[in-house]
Chains A and B, each alone.
Chain A
Amino acid sequence: EPEVTQTPSHQVTQMGQEVILRCVPISNHLYFYWYRQILGQKVEFLVSFYNNEISEKSEIFDDQFSVERPDGSNFTLKIRSTKLEDSAMYFCASSRGEADTQYFGPGTRLTVL
């Protein structure tokens, strides 16, 4: 069964450094998402991406964040200058159709020191 994959599983970085979190969505999916979950809190929507552009972003997704689909298979989330409060589990998700089920990857745990 196809699945969403994410790398790395755990990333440790220093405050102010740039990080890139990588995701490979399911191959025939058209809609791509990033969510995050701060330890002990709920899963929060960050951004959705469709047709090579952002379709919606949350207020969390400020100028420090960007997303890209550099080729036909990868979907990346970049944080330009990490802050302590960016420490969280980041989940990538994809869906085939607009209202279809979103399939989630296993997550990348980001720790900012």
Chain B
Amino acid sequence: AQSVTQPDIHITVSEGASLELRCNYSYGATPYLFWYVQSPGQGLQLLLKYFSGDTLVQGIKGFEAEFKRSQSSFNLRKPSVHWSDAAEYFCAVGAAITGGGNKLTFGTGTQLKVEL
């Protein structure tokens, strides 16, 4: 069964500083990987995804993530954090469902705090 580990529960960075959120996954085949962001009281918004091809993927709001198969990682990065980036970030791995669809397994999330 697939699983996702986000080792950092909370991270605090200063506005303008760089950011890296860690994600490790376990999955038997080539994974579909996602990063979602959740602001308080809001739903989940997709930041970026990896299906295949270029291992460095660009997303919205200036985020990027790099798929490293050898390390089973899909870390999220941003060169300069803005105060509005404060939110909870979820990494997820998708697994095909026999009857149709794709089941997402989420990590426990990383809460990002941005200090002004």
- Listed in ascending order, the chain A residues whose CB lies under 8 Å from chain B are 4, 31, 33, 35, 41-45, 48-51, 53-56, 91, 95, 98-107
Contact = CB atoms under 8 A, between A and B. Distances in A.
Interface string B83-105: 00000001010101111111111
Contacts, number: 76
A50 B99 contact: yes
Contacts of A55: 97-101
Identify the interface centre among A4, A49, A101: most chain B CB within 10 Å of its CB: A101
Contacts of A48: 97, 99-103
A98 B100 contact: yes
Given A50-B100, A56-B98, A98-B100, A41 B108 contact: yes
A106 B46 CA distance: 13
27 contacts: A31-B101, A33-B101, A33-B104, A41-B108, A42-B90, A42-B109, A43-B44, A43-B90, A45-B105, A50-B100, A53-B99, A55-B97, A55-B98, A55-B100, A91-B43, A95-B102, A98-B96, A98-B101, A99-B32, A99-B96, A99-B102, A100-B102, A102-B104, A103-B46, A104-B36, A106-B42, A106-B43
Given A42-B106, A104-B43, 12 more contacts: A31-B100, A33-B104, A42-B109, A44-B106, A45-B103, A48-B97, A53-B99, A55-B100, A56-B103, A95-B101, A99-B32, A106-B43
A45 B104 contact: yes
A31 B102 contact: yes
Contacts of A43: 44, 90, 92, 104, 106
Interface string B5-44: 0000000000000000000000000001010100000111
B65 to A, nearest CB: 14
Nearest to A4: B43
Contact of B44 (A51, A56, A104): A104
